[in-house]
Chains A and B, each alone.
Chain A
Amino acid sequence: MRGFAALGLALVWASSALAQKPPESVGEAIYRHGVLPTGAPLEADRDPGVRIRGAAAACVTCHRRSGLGMMEGRQTIPPIAGSYLFHPRAGTVDDLDLPFVEGMRPDRDPYTEATLARAIREGVRADGNKLSYLMPHYRLDDAAMTELISYLKKLSPGAVPGVTDLVLHFATIVTPDADPVKRKAVLEVLTKFFEDKNHYVRAQSPRLRSSRRMMFKVNRHWELHVWELTGAPETWEKQLHAKLVAEPVYAVISGIGGKTWAPVHRFCEEAALPCLFPNVELPVVAENDFDNLYFSKGVLLETELIAHELKGRRATAGVHRVVQVYRATDVGKDPAAPLAAEFAGEGLTFINRSIPARAHARELSAAVRKIEPGDALVLWLRAEDIAALGSPPPELSTVFMSGRMGGLDRAPLPAAWRDLTRLAYPFDLPERSRVRLDYPLGWFRIRQIPVVALEEQTDTYLACGIVSDTINHMVDTFVRDYLVERVETMLEHRIITGHYPRLALAPGQRFASKGGYLVRFADPTGNRVVADSAWIAP
């Protein structure tokens, strides 16, 4: 009995260890970061006598993290994951038992370790011809070369968890502090999208083949696993690793968070699991992370918009002090801190007023009313608090509020506040996004999905569309890193972008929409807002 328990524990330990990223190898450090085993930067010469070093010389900059290469302009960067280099010569792509990627070469003699080392050092192909002028000539000693080649071999695409011959498994993550109405609305869109997607898959559809027999694609059934987290955020990562072991998935699609998303973000990075476009107000800003893609920086983008505007107006409005008001238990504290940091050393005083979670409108009103001439007020408050603001103190002339938290153009801002207040608006203006929203709104209408959380529902629909379109272009190459890389390069082509004027990413970019407006209400009542700034991309 004791033996069984021990075995069980060992299994749990082994499987959770499997789900986590192994520590970086020497080969990986060369490939991804351009760092040699000695810690010195990797160096290379490019054909026209141009020396490159360090991260700029790292293989990953062109061949990408997946090792599957890319298309950039007219350049095709070929795949260099091991199996693409060492496969025996084949007549056509069809004769290769390798996932299709652009730039793969069937009709070539395989590299050996010696000819590959020569290619990397001297830019000479297996057949003795020169490689493209884009390929640098690397300075690597034998030991480092061996490490790099063994890393390239490890990059060879193999079986991907969550992908079977007939089914693609996805997860969506819901944190316990997510707004219950929005949670339900998001899950409804996801469920309907998956139903729709599977509607077209009847039994086992045959492999699609083109006239050249290049495309070998199977219609797979899409299966959604809803990962509902419970308890304290400190326990979420462990829960998620366990869920991934129990229900292996290819990627995480959409999802919804509340006050914090950081544990989910960390889990996705650790498990090297693409986590695509969740509904979160407070994403994690980490430039060097890879697996987490977001629509925007959310309330942190609002901080940048307000900072931009405050810099411009500070002198004319005579602002000496900034008073920020937020609920202690809500996300408001997080965007408030960087706003103060933005003005550090610029002679502007910041006062942060945190209101207890259960405090009544009277306490809120007191926090908002303690105002002196020359104060600017920044409100990181929800609609209920905005509605209860009462009348503004007479000294007050400059007010900013979080549009996202306050309800955007639906914010119940009292009439007396409307002339004073500028809303940070990290979306396109309503009159401009209306046309782009027709498509998702029509889709909801036909499927009888009530619109109760417009932004979250359209973003969820967008996330599904982006993943679906990207996977359609990947043929059968279900490499997780490759999914993220294809989203990065393809996103800019999208026409249906919902509330965002444009969505675009690139290697290293993690936030698809990069700007917003400051707006104000046009009328004492109603929802009409007008731009009070140009589009700002801070």
Chain B
Amino acid sequence: MSRANMFNVAIAALALAAGSAAASDAELMAQNPPVRSQLLISTVQYTVPDIKLVRDDSKAVSLPDEINDGRPVLLNFIFTSCGSVCPLMSAIFAQFQQRLGDDSGKVHLMSISIDPEQDTPERLRAYAAQFEAGPGWQHYTGTLATSLAAQRAFDVYRGDKMSHAPVTLLRVAPGQPWRRIDGLVTPDQLMREYRTLLAAR
């Protein structure tokens, strides 16, 4: 066991003694503030559930149809009342789309709400406008059940909306596996991942 690990175990044991998960996070943060997002990149096959969602133009759409429209697809999960993490994830999508330039319509960016009862299509449109979303980027809402089904299918459900974690999913073509990025990716890193996958297709 490395010294750092032993240290962390000791901290975790202390936190357990206090019986508070929150305190343990705070303590770990205090000792090791995450200066930069730690990324975990994996390749995963997901089965897209056959569910209907409501797109930000108020149309009912099928999730598989939206995902399998032939274009490369980027997917994340957000909610419009979210304070810290979602605005950052959306800003990253916005920058990614900007960097695509003339090709921006050739990549499908999808953001699914994890707070569907609050996030009406109208609210989603306002949210998208705030990030100057171009035509290739759609936001989706639905019922609690369909939003949950989508979250579970992509393994991003964390019990409630305030516990959500930043995850970006990327797939260059239907049938291909997904590239999953856990953590806050930078627009540059995301673009590199995208170009690499596209070249390997």
Q: Are B85 and A212 in contact (CB under 8 A)?
A: no
Q: Are B188 and A48 in contact (CB under 8 A)?
A: yes
Instruction: Count A-side interface residues using an 8 Å CB cutoff.
Output: 53
Asked if A392 lies at the interface with its beta carbon under 8 angstroms from chain B, I say no
Bitwise interface map of A from 57 to 91 toward B, beta carbon under 8 Å scored 1, else 0: 00001101000001111111110000000000000
Contacts of A535 in B (CB 8 A): 143
CB-contact partner of B30 in A49, A62, A105, A130, under 8 A: A105
Q: Are B29 and A50 in contact (CB under 8 A)?
A: no
Q: What is the size category of the interface that chain B forms with chain A?
A: 35 or more
Asked if A211 lies at the interface with its beta carbon under 8 angstroms from chain B, I say yes
Asked if A353 lies at the interface with its beta carbon under 8 angstroms from chain B, I say no
Bitwise interface map of B from 145 to 185 toward A, beta carbon under 8 Å scored 1, else 0: 00000000000001011111110000000000000000010
CB-contact partner of A133 in B79, B117, B184, under 8 A: B184
Quick check: which of A165-173, A221-229, A505-513 contacts chain B, the rest being far away?
Answer: A505-513
Q: Are A49 and B95 in contact (CB under 8 A)?
A: yes
Q: Are B18 and A214 in contact (CB under 8 A)?
A: yes
Q: Are A130 and B187 in contact (CB under 8 A)?
A: no
CB-contact partner of A72 in B33, B144, B162, under 8 A: B162
Q: Are A47 and B118 in contact (CB under 8 A)?
A: no
Bitwise interface map of A from 511 to 536 toward B, beta carbon under 8 Å scored 1, else 0: 00011000000000000000000110
Q: Are A506 and B115 in contact (CB under 8 A)?
A: yes
Given known pairs A131-B33, A212-B18, the reply for A493 and B91 (CB within 8 Å) is no
Bitwise interface map of A from 229 to 257 toward B, beta carbon under 8 Å scored 1, else 0: 00000000000000000000000000000
CB-contact partner of A134 in B18, B84, B92, B144, under 8 A: B84
Q: Are A506 and B162 in contact (CB under 8 A)?
A: yes
Most interface-central of A73, A78, A211 (chain B CB within 10 A)? A73
Contacts of B130 in A (CB 8 A): 56
Quick check: which of B34-42, B43-51, B60-68, B103-111 contacts chain A, the rest being far away?
Answer: B34-42
Asked if A132 lies at the interface with its beta carbon under 8 angstroms from chain B, I say yes
14 intermolecular pairs with C-beta atoms under 8 Å apart: A62-B84, A70-B83, A71-B22, A72-B164, A73-B165, A74-B165, A76-B25, A131-B33, A133-B35, A134-B84, A210-B19, A492-B160, A507-B83, A534-B143
The 7 closest A-B pairs by CB, nearest first: A48-B186, A506-B81, A537-B117, A514-B117, A50-B91, A62-B84, A212-B18
A132-B33, A133-B35, A537-B117 provided; 12 other pairs, C-beta below 8 A? A48-B187, A61-B83, A61-B87, A71-B162, A72-B162, A73-B165, A75-B84, A129-B35, A131-B35, A214-B23, A514-B117, A535-B143
